[in-house]
Amino acid sequence: MPVLDAASLREDFPLLSRTFDGKPLIYLDNAATTQKPKQVIDAVSDYYRNHNANVHRGVYGLARESTALYEQSREKVASFITAEPQELVFTRNTTESLNLLASSLGKGLQQGDEIVLSVMEHHSNMIPWRLLESRGVKVKYVPLIDEEKLDLEQLKKSLSSKTRIVSLTHASNVLGTIVDVRAAGEIVHDAGAVFVVDGAQSVPHFSVDVKKLDADFYAFSAHKMLGPSGVGALYGKEELLRELPVYQGGGEMIEKVTLEKMTFQQPPHRFEAGTPNMAGVAGFGAAVDYLRTVGMDAVREHEVALTGYAMEQLDGIGGMKIFGPEKAEDRTGVISFVMEGISPFDIASFAATRGMALRTGHHCAQPLHDVLGVPGTARVSFYLYNTKEEVDLLMRMLEDTALLREK
């Protein structure tokens, strides 16, 4: 019995009925961005048709309506990760959430202070911290066990009295590895450091409770979870957000300003300078509604089933190397692989001739690919609307690719 009826869910996604060169689109690049259901597209369009006015500024009916919608979405997105609305800052995406933290937390760092990351971080959770190196901050990296699992013993060893921040991904966009962030957080907090989690590949795929995980900060993007592009979120524990230095200055974030003095709004508005992406936020709320209706446990079960099925068959293709954990239960629906004698680019190009959208390259995780000893990989990544039939077509395509190599 399927836990989720992907075939009927697909009817909500207009783009999934597109064809390329007469072939139905098979969209397997969900780790990069996801397609949008009509409920999200309608919410964005409805915002512009019926509710558009600047938020937090006007007393007239339309402005109050727009503000209410904006704050309702904040409540929805916050409760989706079991947070309070005042703990959730809207940003442009995960990247901006992490830059906000690096910039604001970075203000309190001194020469010789240390930041700890893992070798499997996406560039978004590496470069913002690395930019602090020019101020004498040292960035250290936790290695992996067997090229797939975060080494928690090494995490413990890498922490010292100089460690101020540890920032780790919850799920790798290349390996699919799900990191035990609860255990990592305990280690980090025992060392007295701030614990940041990159949730770009976790919040869309399984249920996340930031309180249970005890993350200090947690970043994610709407576009990877059926929502619009250009909007993301940063969760922060209320007491930490109150202490965090402001990021950008401008309208919305200010409480009072004279030519001599200024005071700032309370969080989260303190971190939302300027007119925000109001339509995007409305769509973000609709995306969360959609995922709640489907149920995150059903999303997870569906992805584990599909990933397990795909991995079983991939194993049967000669010269195939799959990266990341062996068991589907230990990973998200991301499978990166290489095939002997044929480049990832050629695999993705051949796939494209069959209407399949696969990703190829280093997936914004170059240091990880150095660790894996390959310049790039081909990657498929599933979501709630992918089907077993699509996996079968993927396998047929890869078998044909293998034959091409032998010719």
Ligand X SMILES: Cc1ncc(COP(=O)(O)O)c(C=O)c1O
Q: Closer CB to ligand X, residue 67 or residue 176?
A: 176
**Contact between 221 and ligand X per CB under 6 A:** yes
Q: Which of residues 280-339 bind ligand X (CB under 6 A)?
A: none
CB of 361 to ligand X, least distance (A): 12
φ/ψ (deg, to 5) at 378: -95, 145
CB of 363 to ligand X, least distance (A): 7
Q: Minimal CA–CA distance to 216: which of 234, 204, 231? A: 234
Which of 30, 34, 201, 377 is the binder for ligand X (CB under 6 A)? 201
Q: Closer CB to ligand X, residue 149 or residue 354?
A: 149
For 182, other C-beta atoms within 10 Å of its C-beta total 12
Helix extents (H) in 81-218: 94-106, 127-130, 152-158, 181-190, 210-213
Known catalytic residue at 66: no
**Contact between 94 and ligand X per CB under 6 A:** yes
Q: Closer CB to ligand X, residue 152 or residue 364?
A: 364
Q: Minimal CA–CA distance to 321: which of 376, 274, 252? A: 376
**Contact between 30 and ligand X per CB under 6 A:** no
CB of 31 to ligand X, least distance (A): 6
Q: Closer CB to ligand X, residue 86 or residue 207?
A: 207
User: Rounded to whole angstroms, how far apart are CA atoms 335 and 30?
Assistant: 11
Q: Which of residues 328-387 bind ligand X (CB under 6 A)?
A: 364
CB of 220 to ligand X, least distance (A): 8
**Contact between 200 and ligand X per CB under 6 A:** yes
For 230, other C-beta atoms within 10 Å of its C-beta total 19
Exactly one of 187, 364, 374, 395 is catalytic; name it. 364
What is the C-alpha end-to-end distance of the chain, expressed in Å?
A: 41
Q: Minimal CA–CA distance to 290: which of 17, 37, 2? A: 37
Q: C-alpha distances in angstroms, 355 versus 24, 27, 328, 363, 393?
A: 6, 8, 26, 21, 10
Which of 169, 277, 336, 377 is the binder for ligand X (CB under 6 A)? 169
Which residues, in sequence order, are bridge partners of residue 50?
Answer: none
- Contact 165/157 with Cβ under 8 angstroms? no
β-bridge pairing 194-198 and 163-169: parallel
**Contact between 277 and ligand X per CB under 6 A:** no
Which residues, in sequence order, are bridge partners of residue 141?
Answer: 117
Binding-site size, ligand X (CB under 6 A): 14
One symbol per residue from 124 to 143: x for binding ligand X (CB under 6 A), - otherwise; what is it?
xx------------------
CB of 317 to ligand X, least distance (A): 26
Binding-site ranges for ligand X (CB under 6 A): 31, 93-95, 122, 124-125, 169, 173, 198, 200-201, 221, 364
Residues forming the active site: 364
